[in-house]
């Protein structure tokens, strides 16, 4: 293997770079350790390990757009740096919160698909939490609208379902 | 969601969430807290089917997203200080269940009584103690109350959660108005139709203060207690939760009122201590065990060393694989703590001293104990005491437990580190209106 891990003090710029090619044909340069976090890239690099020069390798990622990749790459990079240190889980949580807080609903969906395809399970986990958080304590109409789900109940069925209210709830959140 | 997903939506109408593979949608949905599941069911047919299915709840458990609920039958505060607790939500539940649960004329009569009771309560606040079902969610520390029919939950009924069917049963106890023991059984399906108690088949006899335990996956055994004539009982019966059927078991050798039920090795039903009609209040030291494979009872001596104390409520069973022994934890006051460990056959009973703030108020405090977690590494038990009132604790050692917003200081979670046996007590915040001593409690992972 090419030595990508000389020492932890070594600045990231001196690390080996790999080129990822997005679905829309853009080439993005990333550190090898970041690329290895993406399952398809890891597999590709293993298959082409006899290639002497990593710089020459271009990994095709036909399911992820450049826009999504350019969000994912800095996240994964920082997350890797965080998990290399003996930091508390709280810090990672705060970092994840910061990353997800301002994600638009569209972006959230795109990132989930990308995280799933790329096998970045820790990100997928966080994104699923965020989705669950965004649909809990909301009106049924809001949830349908938010996720683009068709209401396939008859009005009678729906009225009956809604009559089942086991808990003495406070009101739901504002949509 | 995104434009790309919207395009795909046409072809993938059956997806749980348009544009996402079902496995990811499932990952999202299992993370939504239990209390919102009813709302999710109204979204679409597929969500309704999914969230009504046992596989959905199995997945929540497997992925560690299931919530830890302690279900307790608790007396309601006489004049609810909490507005959320009184008017609108409650009356909705009352009228809803009152309309649905009636099946016989006698029921109808009782519903009328309930209605009257409710009105009286609003007028004078001086009615018999009423009970409600309280759910303490140990996963997020919240307290909620379901009160499907005011005035109906029997006093001292046994609350039993049946994990495999996600149902909650209320068995026996006393009629809250006549104070007579009742044979009644009510079932709440926590997954489907969780707004309505269903009246299930009653026991063969009216029974209160009996031993009760979930035995096997889907059956509940009861034994002993006393009937309407205050006779201690030898009789035992078993309830099949799915079939809604009671079947008599052979009688125990002795009468046992105020006994404790414990299930060990998955299907062996222990009935611990209790007393006979003629020796009221003198608790027997022995236990009887029903083995379903032989269909017979056998006796274990020297299991309960406290003749003036009932094992009910204050004990928690924990199965530990260590040395093929069963561990039984007793949560006791100062007077009993000298006794140390009692070993009888495969049962090891260890005494867990209660926090000082609890034992200072009373030498043998009432406690209600529910096991939350049990693994090779750690045991976690929820303990609620009868010493809920403020001011009963002057202990400085436990001053960190005292929480200014709590109505009482009576709820704790005990964590026992299995590697060194160390015990740690954590105070649980007890909101106003939830400090009543639970007469029965059960645990459900959902």
Distance to chain B for A23, nearest Cα, Å:
13
Within a domain: residue B132?
no
Average pLDDT taken over every residue of chain B: 78
Please judge whether B89 and A137 are an interchain contact, meaning their C-beta atoms are less than 8 angstroms apart: no
Q: How confident is the model at residue B337, as a pLDDT? A: 61
Q: Do A109 and B2 touch (CB under 8 A)?
A: yes
Higher pLDDT: B420 or B413? It is B413
Instruction: Identify the helix (H) or strand (E) that includes residue B369.
Output: strand B367-374
B42, B62, B82: which is the final residue of a domain? B62
Place of tokens 């992925």: B63
Q: Cβ–Cβ of A168/B13 closer than 8 Å?
A: no
A49: in domain: yes
Segment among A35-39, B135-139, B310-314 with least mean pLDDT: B310-314
The mean-pLDDT minimum among A101-115, B292-306, B383-397 falls in B383-397
Nearest CA in chain B to A170: B84
Distance from CA of B63 to the nearest CA of A (A): 11
Of A162, A168, A172, the CB nearest to B85: A168
Chain B residues with CB-CB distance to A100 below 8 A = none
**Chain B residues inside the 8 Å CB shell of A137:** 36, 39
Contact across the interface for B19 and A153, Cβ inside 8 Å? no
Task: Over range A85-92, report the average pLDDT.
Answer: 84
Three-state DSSP at A79 gives helix
Q: Residues of A with CB below 8 A from B20's CB? A: 109, 112-113
**Pick from A43-52, A107-116, B221-230: least confident:** A43-52
**Residue B147 falls inside a structural domain:** no
Task: From B207, B162, B211, B151, select the one nearest B184 (Cα to Cα).
Answer: B207
Q: What is the pLDDT of residues B350-369, one digit of tens each?
A: 788 787 777 665 656 677 88
Whether the pLDDT of residue B252 is over 90: the answer is: yes
Q: Comparing B88 with A42, which gets the higher pLDDT?
A: A42
- The answer to whether A166 contacts B42, with C-beta atoms less than 8 Å apart, is no
In chain A, whose CA is at the least distance from the CA of B30? A132
Residue A164's SS3 state is: coil
Confidence of residue B114 (pLDDT cuts 50, 70, 90): very low
Please name which of B154, B130, B55, B136 lies closest in space to residue B442, comparing C-alpha atoms.
B136
Q: What pLDDT sits at residue B21?
A: 93
- Examine the fold and report which residue of B15, B32, B62 is the final residue of a domain before the chain moves on: B62
**Full residue range of the structural domain in which residue B52 is found:** 3-62
pLDDT at B269: 93
Residue B336: per-residue pLDDT: 64
pLDDT recorded at residue B309: 86
Q: In terms of residues, how long is chain A?
A: 175
Q: Which residue of B has its CA nearest to A131?
A: B28
Closest CA to B414 of B444, B446, B384: B384
Q: Is A93 domain-assigned? A: yes
Q: Structural domain of residue A109, as residue ranges?
A: 15-133
pLDDT at B391: 35
**CB–CB of B176/B151 below 8 Å?**
yes
Q: Which residues contact B212 (CB under 8 A, 6 or more apart)?
A: B158, B160, B171, B220, B221, B222, B261
DSSP B249-318: EPPPSS--BS-EEEEETTTEEEEE--B-GGGTT---S-EEEEETTTTEEEEE-S----TT---TTTEEEE
Contacts of B92 in chain A (CB under 8 A): 165
Residue A114 lies in a domain: yes
Q: What percent of chain A has pLDDT over 70?
A: 81
Cβ atoms B172, B207 nearer than 8 A? yes
In a domain? residue B380: yes
Q: Looking at residue B248, what is its pLDDT?
A: 97
Domain count, chain B: 2
Size of interface A-B (CB pairs under 8 A): 117
What the block records as the tokens of B229 is 């004539």
Given this model, what pLDDT does residue B338 score? 60
Contacts of A164 in chain B (CB under 8 A): 38, 41, 193-196
Interface test with B, best of A105, A143, A167 (most B CBs within 10 A): A167
> Where residue A8 falls among pLDDT bands split at 50, 70, 90?
very low
Please name the residue that has the structure tokens 């069963």. B326
In a domain, A61, yes or no: yes
d(CA A28, CA A41): 13
Per-residue pLDDT band for B85 (boundaries 50, 70, 90) equals: very low
Residue written as token pair 């996720």: A147
Stretch among A38-47, A143-152, B49-58, B102-111 having the lowest mean pLDDT: B102-111
Question: Distance between CA A85 and CA A87 in Å, rounded?
Answer: 5
- CA B79 from chain center: how many Å? 24
Tell me if B55 is assigned to some domain: yes
Are B39 and A143 a contacting pair at CB < 8 A? yes
DSSP line for B153-214: SPBTPEEEEETTTTEEEEE--B-TTT--B---EEEEESSSSTT-EEEEPPPSS--BS-EEEE
For CA atoms B438, B439, B442, B446, give the dihedral sign: negative
In CATH, what number is assigned to the domain containing residue A113? 3.30.710.10
Q: Which residues of B146-174 are buried (b: 16+ CB within 10 A; e: fewer)?
A: bbbbbbbbbbbbbbbbbbebbbbbbbbbb
A93 to chain B, closest Cα gap in Å? 17
Test mutation, B43, B136, B194, chain A, max A CBs within 10 A: B43
* Contact yes or no for B241/B193 (Cβ under 8 A): no
Sort strands B219-223 and B211-215 into parallel, antiparallel or unpaired: antiparallel
- DSSP conformational letter for A144: H
pLDDT at B324: 61
Residue B47 included in any domain: yes
Give dist(CA B291, CA A70) in Å, integer.
64
Specify if A1 maps to a domain: no
Question: Is A23 contained in some domain?
Answer: yes
Q: State the pLDDT confidence band at A162, using cuts at 50, 70 and 90.
A: confident
pLDDT at residue B197 greater than cutoff 50 = yes
Q: Where is pLDDT greater, at B270 or B401?
A: B270
Q: pLDDT for B39-80, tens place per residue?
A: 899 999 999 999 999 999 999 999 999 999 999 998 888 754
Residue to mutate among A127, A131, A133, A154, with most B CBs inside 10 A, is: A131
Token pair for A125: 């986990």
Please count the other Cβ atoms lying within 10 Å of the Cβ belonging to residue B404: 5
Give the mutation candidate from A105, A128, A153, A159 for the B interface (greatest B CB count, under 10 A).
A128
Q: Is the CB of B44 less than 8 angstroms away from the CB of A136? A: no
Contact between residue A25 and residue A16 where contact means Cβ atoms under 8 Å apart? no
Do B18 and A147 lie within an 8 Å CB cutoff? yes
pLDDT at A20: 93
DSSP structure string for B113-142: HHHHHHHHHHHHS-SS--EEEEEEETTTTE
Residue pair B330/B339 in contact by the 8 Å Cβ criterion: no
Q: Is residue B185 part of a domain?
A: no
Instruction: Identify the residue whose tokens are 């029997």.
Output: B154
Q: Is residue B210 domain-resident?
A: no
Q: What are phi and psi of A115, to 5 degrees?
A: -60, -35
Nearest CA in chain B to A156: B42
Q: Which residues contact A137 (CB under 8 A, 6 or more apart)?
A: A172, A173, B36, B39
Q: What is the pLDDT of residues A60-70, one digit of tens each?
A: 999 999 999 99
Domain count within chain A: 1
Among A48-62, B222-236, B396-410, whose mean pLDDT is lowest?
B396-410
């Amino acid at each position: 293997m090419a030595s990508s891990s000389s020492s932890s003090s070594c600045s990231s710029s001196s690390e080996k770079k790999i080129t990822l090619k997005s679905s829309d044909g853009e080439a993005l340069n990333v550190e090898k350790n970041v690329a290895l976090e993406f399952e398809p890239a890891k597999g590709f690099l293993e298959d082409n390990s006899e290639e002497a020069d990593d710089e020459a390798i271009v990994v095709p990622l036909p399911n992820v757009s450049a826009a999504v990749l350019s969000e994912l790459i800095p996240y994964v990079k920082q997350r890797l740096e965080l998990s290399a240190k003996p930091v508390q889980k709280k810090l990672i949580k705060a970092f994840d919160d910061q990353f997800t807080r301002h994600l638009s609903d569209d972006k959230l969906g795109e990132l989930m698909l990308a995280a799933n395809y790329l096998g970045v399970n820790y990100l997928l986990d966080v994104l699923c939490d965020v989705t669950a958080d965004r649909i809990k304590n909301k009106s049924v109409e809001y949830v349908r609208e938010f996720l683009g789900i068709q209401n396939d109940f008859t009005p009678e069925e729906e009225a009956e379902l809604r009559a089942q209210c086991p808990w003495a709830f406070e009101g739901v959140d504002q949509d | 969601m995104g434009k790309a997903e919207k395009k795909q939506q046409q072809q993938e109408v059956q997806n749980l969430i348009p544009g996402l593979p079902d496995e990811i949608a499932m990952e999202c949905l299992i993370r939504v807290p239990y209390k919102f599941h009813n709302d999710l069911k109204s979204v679409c047919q597929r969500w309704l089917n999914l969230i009504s299915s046992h596989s959905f709840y199995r997945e929540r458990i497997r992925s560690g997203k299931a919530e830890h609920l302690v279900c307790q039958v608790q007396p309601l505060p006489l004049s609810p200080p909490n507005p959320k607790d009184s008017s609108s939500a409650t009356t909705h539940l009352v009228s809803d269940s009152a309309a649905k649960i009636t099946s016989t004329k006698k029921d109808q009569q009782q519903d009328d009584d309930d209605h009257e009771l409710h009105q009286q309560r609003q007028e004078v606040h001086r009615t018999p103690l009423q009970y409600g079902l309280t759910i303490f969610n140990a996963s997020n520390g919240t307290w909620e109350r379901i009160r499907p029919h005011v005035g109906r939950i029997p006093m001292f009924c046994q609350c039993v959660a049946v994990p495999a069917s996600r149902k909650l049963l209320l068995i026996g106890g006393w009629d809250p108005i006549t104070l007579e023991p009742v044979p009644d059984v009510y079932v709440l399906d926590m997954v489907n139709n969780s707004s309505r108690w269903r009246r299930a088949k009653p026991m063969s006899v009216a029974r209160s203060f009996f031993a009760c335990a979930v035995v096997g996956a889907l059956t509940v055994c009861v034994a002993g207690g006393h009937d309407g004539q205050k006779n201690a009982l030898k009789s035992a019966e078993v309830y099949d939760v799915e079939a809604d059927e009671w079947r008599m078991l052979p009688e125990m050798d002795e009468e046992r009122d105020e006994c404790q039920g414990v299930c060990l090795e998955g299907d062996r039903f222990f009935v611990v201590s209790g007393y006979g009609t003629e020796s009221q209040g003198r608790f027997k030291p022995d236990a009887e065990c029903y083995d379903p494979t032989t269909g017979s009872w056998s006796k274990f001596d020297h299991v309960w060393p406290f003749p003036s104390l009932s094992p009910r409520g204050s004990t928690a069973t924990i199965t530990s694989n260590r040395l093929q022994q069963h561990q039984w934890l007793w949560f006791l006051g100062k007077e009993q703590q000298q006794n140390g460990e009692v070993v009888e056959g495969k049962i090891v009973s260890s005494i867990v001293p209660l926090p000082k703030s609890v034992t200072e108020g009373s030498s043998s405090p009432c406690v209600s104990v529910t096991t939350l977690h049990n693994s090779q590494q750690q045991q976690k038990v929820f303990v609620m005491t009868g010493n809920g009132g403020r001011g009963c604790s002057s202990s400085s050692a436990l001053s960190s437990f005292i929480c200014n917003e709590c109505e009482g200081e009576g709820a704790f979670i005990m964590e026992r580190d299995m590697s060194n046996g160390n015990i740690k007590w954590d105070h649980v915040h007890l909101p106003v209106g939830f400090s009543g001593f639970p007469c029965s409690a059960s645990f459900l992972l959902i």
